[in-house]
Amino acid sequence: MLNLNETHNPKLTSWVASANDRKTDFPIQNLPYSIFRRKGQSEAFRAGVAIGDQIVDLKAAHKAGVFPVGLTPTLKTLYKPRLNKFMSLGKDAWSELRLHLSRALREGADKITQLEACLVSQSQVDYKVPARIGDYTDFYTSIHHATNVGKLFRPDNPLLPNYQWVPIGYHGRSSSIRVSGHEFHRPCGQLKAPDADTPILAPCKRLDYELEVGIYIGKGNELGSAIALDNAEDHVFGLGLLNDWSARDIQAWEYQPLGPFLSKSFASTVSPWIVTMEALTPYRDNWSRQESHPQPLPYLDSHDLRNSGAVDMHLEIHIQTAAMRAEGMPSERVALSNFNQSYWSISQMVTHHTVNGCNLKAGDLFGSGTMSGPNADSVGALLEATAGGREPIMLGHGEKRTFLEDGDTVTLKGYCNNDNAPRIGFGEASARVLPAV
């Protein structure tokens, strides 16, 4: 069961003035985590919590005596340059710290002077991938995406028969996951034109983005054990943004029979911030399955799932080309989607992943899969937006794109809001394409 508590109160305001701006991603109701250090310093990376345009340096706040002594074991895990240890503590520890952070950052709090000295401006820091990601599993949970992509290859039979029964996924590569703000070279690989006899080694010509939600595992499970559906979210720390860059031409040649390989492993981009599952409580939605579709097997179905298994999380893709940058033009939004389009819930992904006894570990990352909605302006990859590269999308200032060009910067954004709860955001996951080496 999901319960609201005092940290979700929409009326709360913070003594950090920028947190009360209605447009901020980081009001006092959010309180997401990152790993940061001040720019240009050789100091250690450590954990921080966002508030408005500032970061609470948790190590400094602990040393300044802002929190009760009983929180010391929890706070010491946040001295580390990755969140894994904190993630492994489980939801009671996360929730206790959230409550104390909320109280310390509220208007009228006790130790404002001490905590104010522990704030660092977000504009003055570098971030790091927030967890040591041991394993990365990429799912495929938007039925719109699966159908759109399937149509390109199998017009008569776009959706394979397992799709409506199994949360489809594959094991990805974690070593090339990087935090927002990086650049990467266009990958090279084997390409084979449909009419060619042999493949060639060449730079990818069909470079694409994938708009995904990143799901970070908190407390893991023992090898040989399975996680039941209604306990599944106890094992999830929080959500971030994930761009699962894809080389479609490399993918098309290599993917059968074992799935994507080098077409995905050259780069993935995550947002610095992880928004906790507790912060997302006010934005949960019913999960449903159309009556005409197969209903989930019993291990993937429950009352709680139906009641609140989905997350109403708005997702956006923005592109800024090199020409736009040269003219000082801002990035342009090219798609608007929502995580509530997911055919499978977070809990179903976790439960299915462990039903064979597979052990998840703190800091593991799941990708939701490209989160496309039903409309032309809600597709999460260029492969879909351009019908496989046949119909270019037009950018507002006159450029066209079928796939990405060198110099393009792609930025994912996300936020939640509704009538009863304030807007909370996810920051951004942004990276730029450089020419092939």
Report the catalytic residues: 145
Rounded Cα–Cα distance for residues 170 and 246 (Å): 14
Rounded to the nearest whole angstrom, what is the least distance from the CB of residue 138 to Mn ion in the complex? 4
Q: Identify the DSSP state of 369.
A: -
Give 268 or 351: the residue with its C-beta nearer to Mn ion.
Answer: 268
Q: Tokens for 427? A: 């920051």
**Interface characters, 235-274, with Mn ion (x: CB under 5 A):** ---------x------------------------------
Q: Which residues contact 103 (CB under 8 A, 6 or more apart)?
A: 109
Candidate ranges 5-13, 71-79, 134-142, 175-183; the one touching Mn ion (CB under 5 A) = 134-142
Rounded Cα–Cα distance for residues 307 and 432 (Å): 40
Q: Does 135 bind Mn ion (CB under 5 A)?
A: no
Phi/psi region, residue 435 (left: phi>0; alpha: psi -120 to 50; beta: rest), is: beta
Closest to 169 (Cα-Cα) out of 133, 148, 140, 212? 140
Candidate ranges 54-62, 85-93, 204-212, 215-223; the one touching Mn ion (CB under 5 A) = 204-212
Rounded to the nearest whole angstrom, what is the least distance from the CB of residue 173 to Mn ion in the complex? 12
Tell me the sheet residues that pair with 33: 49, 274
Q: Does 210 bind Mn ion (CB under 5 A)?
A: yes
Rounded Cα–Cα distance for residues 60 and 120 (Å): 10
Q: Name the one residue in this structure whose structure tokens are 């006894």.
A: 357
Rounded to the nearest whole angstrom, what is the least distance from the CB of residue 37 to Mn ion in the complex? 30
The amino acid sitting at 96 is E
Candidate ranges 88-96, 131-139, 299-307, 357-365; the one touching Mn ion (CB under 5 A) = 131-139
Closest to 430 (Cα-Cα) out of 214, 211, 264, 271? 271
Give 145 or 219: the residue with its C-beta nearer to Mn ion.
Answer: 145
Q: Are 340 and 141 in contact (CB under 8 A)?
A: no
Rounded to the nearest whole angstrom, what is the least distance from the CB of residue 311 to Mn ion in the complex? 18
Tell me the sheet residues that pair with 242: 212, 270
Closest to 404 (Cα-Cα) out of 202, 206, 185? 206
Give 149 or 311: the residue with its C-beta nearer to Mn ion.
Answer: 149
Residues touching Mn ion: how many (CB under 5 A)? 3
Q: Does 138 bind Mn ion (CB under 5 A)?
A: yes
Site for Mn ion in 334-363 (CB under 5 A): none
Q: Does 208 bind Mn ion (CB under 5 A)?
A: no
Give 244 or 278: the residue with its C-beta nearer to Mn ion.
Answer: 244
Phi/psi region, residue 309 (left: phi>0; alpha: psi -120 to 50; beta: rest), is: alpha
What are the angstrom distances between the C-alpha of 225 and each of 221, 235, 340, 351, 352?
A: 7, 13, 29, 11, 12
Give the DSSP H/E element, type plus range, for residue 85: helix 84-88
Q: Are 31 and 98 in contact (CB under 8 A)?
A: yes
Q: Identify the DSSP state of 16.
A: S
Torsion, Cα of 103, 109, 112, 116 (10° steps): 40
Q: Does 384 bind Mn ion (CB under 5 A)?
A: no
Give 57 or 210: the residue with its C-beta nearer to Mn ion.
Answer: 210
Rounded to the nearest whole angstrom, what is the least distance from the CB of residue 131 to Mn ion in the complex? 18
Say how far residue 241 (Cα) sits from the centre of its chain: 2
Rounded to the nearest whole angstrom, what is the least distance from the CB of residue 172 to Mn ion in the complex? 8
Rounded to the nearest whole angstrom, what is the least distance from the CB of residue 403 to Mn ion in the complex? 16
Give 198 or 256: the residue with its C-beta nearer to Mn ion.
Answer: 256
Give 33 or 366: the residue with its C-beta nearer to Mn ion.
Answer: 366
Q: List interacting residues with Mn ion (CB under 5 A).
A: 138, 210, 244
